């Protein structure tokens, strides 16, 4: 069966992921991989799209996309429950850092720091809705400028860190992976590869950490000095959860700093770590996430075989070796074209990947995605104490049950839109419209009397009164209606409704 055939509340294990090209790669990057357990939560009011729960987070797919994913069904009673574990089960030899306190792990950097006066440039990267813009504003204050990345209409915001004029932070578009699926993803990785920032500040949503860390692994493969900011840690701890920073730093090999960007907590500590890793060029302590002892041993051998094969080409193209190998296995056309492999090397590359597929039992792209999610699952098992459901999320879920319910969604939508139009055309908008019309009428009479008293030419008089005041004035009277309507629509949009 396929995802489309699941009943609400039922679960299944993914067997195969169909589709092709960048869209299929996008599915894999989102965690839709063979072996993953998925539960159908609900359908949209009109029946499409569907909301799924996978890897501990909610994912929305169109039914047409769900048909491409084959699953083996599980009964609803067999669905895996994520039971919050107690913090006591994760004893640590080191005290757990508080909010804004870095852990104990530091990566060995170069013997000599960058020359004094060198501008430290940072790429601020993260998933959408993880608090990236909030952190950017906290870092730069009002000292920022906005433009577009060359060749694409994707917003680019840059600014100096407050109190550190020698720095420049560029806010990259919110992305979920470094695969060439969207222009935002291409822009982000091209910026890091070709602009050569001295450091990366990777912000992740600590309340949805497993999903966010997938991008972190890809960023680490770029072998650029990097610091990880765990945002919204106040929410995690407020709901009984915890993240063991010391252990996470040991497993990842990069500094990890818990912060709350909205409350400006931990930001100063984050800046200190970012300046340190950039100044001393402390690169990630690991870029290899394969466990040679488990089923990913074949992936490990495949990647290292490719790295030996393309090492010279990657160096010539200015692409980090591990990143190049991973992208070649995924079939990334941009990296493949940039490496300029000979015919013999292409054939050997295909042979190495085919051998891995045979040993692993998965196709190439799915094997890489599974390797990353396997590592993330082990990482989270050792470092994350899951928080209980927050009051905000519970309240949102209850509201959604009404606003997107099977029988209540359409009446609720009709009622909300009727209220918006009533307030616009009969109450708020109408009041402002009457106020503006009264002001225009008063000004028209005053100007008409003034022009008459001054003996202005009749044609010019008619042009001003009949053309400008009566003509343009009648159009201006609609402005309050339009402004009020768009105000309510913006509220509905910002709320996610």
For 204-228, what is each residue's pLDDT tens digit? 999 888 889 999 999 999 999 999 9
pLDDT band at 93 (very low <50, low <70, confident <90, very high): very low
- Residue 57 confidence (pLDDT): 85
Least confident of 183-197, 243-257, 289-303, 316-330: 289-303
- Residues 147, 265, single domain; the answer is yes
Q: Check whether residue 207 and residue 122 sit in a common domain.
A: yes
Examine residue 401 and state whether it is found in any structural domain, yes or no: no
| Angle (CA) 411 413 414, round 5° | 65
Q: Per residue in 14-29, pLDDT tens?
A: 999 988 777 888 888 8
DSSP 302-340: HHHHHHHHHHHHHHHHT--HHHHHHHHHHT-HHHHHHHT
For 122-143, how does the pLDDT look when each residue is reduced to its tens digit (9 = 90+)? 999 999 888 888 899 999 986 5
Domains of the chain: total: 4
Does one domain contain both 358 and 421? no
User: pLDDT tier at 185 (50, 70, 90 boundaries)?
Assistant: confident
User: At 418, is the pLDDT very low, low, confident or very high (cuts 50, 70, 90)?
Assistant: very high
What pLDDT, in 10s, does the model give residues 351-386? 999 999 999 989 999 999 999 999 999 999 999 998
Per the structure, the complete domain to which residue 373 belongs is given by 297-385
The verdict on 124 and 233 lying in the same domain is yes
* 148 and 64 within one domain: no
Residues 272 and 325 in one domain: no
Q: Which CATH number covers residue 310? A: 1.10.287.1770
Mark whether 254 and 196 lie in a shared domain.
Answer: yes
Report pTM. Answer: 0.79
Question: Is residue 63 a part of any domain in this protein?
Answer: yes
Same domain? For 153 and 182 the reply is yes
Query: Are residues 215 and 303 both part of a single domain?
Result: no
**Rounded CA separation 239/399 (Å):** 20
- Per-residue confidence (pLDDT) for residue 76, from 0 to 100: 44
476 in a domain, yes or no? Answer: yes
Nearest CA to 252 among 279, 278, 215?
215
Question: pLDDT-derived band of residue 113, with 50, 70 and 90 as boundaries?
Answer: confident
Q: Of the candidates 279, 306, 337, which is a domain's last residue? A: 279
pLDDT at 75: 56
Is the pLDDT at 149 greater than 70, yes or no? no
Residue 135 sits in a domain of what CATH number? 3.40.50.300
User: 211 with 127: CB under 8 angstroms?
Assistant: yes
Q: Say what angle helices 364-383 and 343-360 make with each other, to 10 degrees.
A: 60
Same structural domain for residues 164 and 274? Answer: yes
Residue 399 forms part of a structural domain: no
- 23 plus 103 within the same structural domain: no
Mean pLDDT of all residues belonging to the chain: 85
Across the range 419-436, mean pLDDT stands at: 90
Residue 493, classed as helix, strand or coil, is helix
Query: Domain check: are 317 and 423 in the same one?
Result: no
Supply the pLDDT for residue 157.
Answer: 84
Instruction: Give rounded-to-5 percent helix, strand, coil for the chain.
Output: 50, 15, 30
What number is the average pLDDT over the span 337-353?
Answer: 94
The domain boundary, picked from 385, 400, 428, lies at 385
- pLDDT category, 155, cuts 50, 70, 90? confident
């Amino acid at each position: 069966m396929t995802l489309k055939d699941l009943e609400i509340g039922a679960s299944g294990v993914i067997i195969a992921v169909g589709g092709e090209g960048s869209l299929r790669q996008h599915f894999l990057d989102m965690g839709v991989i063979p072996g993953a357990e998925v539960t159908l939560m609900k359908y949209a009011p009109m029946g499409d799209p569907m909301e799924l729960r996978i890897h501990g987070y909610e994912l929305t797919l169109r039914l047409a996309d769900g048909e491409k994913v084959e699953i083996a069904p599980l009964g609803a009673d067999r669905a895996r429950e994520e039971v919050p574990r107690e913090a006591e089960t994760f004893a640590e030899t080191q005290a757990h850092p508080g909010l804004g306190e870095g852990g104990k792990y530091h990566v060995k950097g170069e013997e000599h720091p960058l020359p004094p006066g060198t501008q430290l440039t940072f790429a601020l990267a993260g998933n959408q809705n993880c608090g990236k813009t909030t952190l950017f504003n906290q870092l730069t204050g009002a000292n920022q400028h906005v433009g577009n990345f060359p060749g694409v209409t994707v917003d680019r915001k840059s600014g100096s860190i407050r109190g550190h004029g020698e720095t420049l932070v560029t806010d990259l578009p919110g992305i979920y992976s470094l695969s060439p699926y969207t222009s935002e993803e291409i822009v982000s990785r091209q910026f890091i590869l070709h602009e050569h920032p001295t450091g990366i500040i990777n912000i992740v949503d600590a309340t949805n950490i497993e999903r966010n860390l997938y991008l972190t692994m890809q960023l680490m493969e770029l072998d650029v000095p990097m610091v990880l900011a765990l945002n919204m840690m106040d929410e995690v701890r407020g709901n009984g959860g915890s993240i063991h920073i010391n252990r996470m730093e040991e497993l990842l090999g990069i500094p990890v700093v818990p912060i709350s960007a909205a409350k400006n907590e931990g930001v100063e500590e984050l800046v200190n770590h970012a300046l340190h890793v950039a100044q001393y060029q402390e690169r990630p302590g690991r870029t290899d996430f394969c466990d040679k002892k488990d089923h990913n041993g074949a992936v490990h051998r495949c990647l290292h075989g490719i790295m030996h094969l393309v090492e010279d080409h990657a160096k010539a193209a200015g692409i980090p070796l591990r990143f190049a190998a991973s992208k070649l296995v995924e079939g990334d056309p941009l990296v493949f074209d940039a490496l300029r492999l000979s015919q013999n090397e292409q054939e050997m590359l295909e042979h190495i990947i085919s051998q891995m597929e045979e040993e692993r039992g998965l196709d190439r792209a799915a094997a890489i995605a599974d390797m990353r999610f396997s590592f993330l699952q082990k990482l989270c098992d050792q470092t994350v104490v899951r928080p209980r459901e927050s009051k905000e999320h519970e309240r949102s879920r209850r509201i959604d049950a009404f606003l997107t319910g099977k029988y209540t969604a359409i009446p609720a939508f009709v009622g909300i839109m009727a209220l918006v139009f009533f307030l616009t055309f009969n109450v708020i908008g109408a009041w402002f419209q009457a106020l503006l019309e009264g002001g225009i009428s008063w000004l028209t009479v005053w100007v008409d009397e003034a022009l008459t008293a001054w003996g202005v030419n009749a044609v010019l008089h008619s042009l001003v009164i009949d053309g400008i005041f009566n003509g343009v004035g009648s159009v201006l009277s609609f402005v309050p209606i339009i402004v009020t309507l768009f105000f309510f629509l913006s509220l509905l949009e910002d709320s996610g409704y």
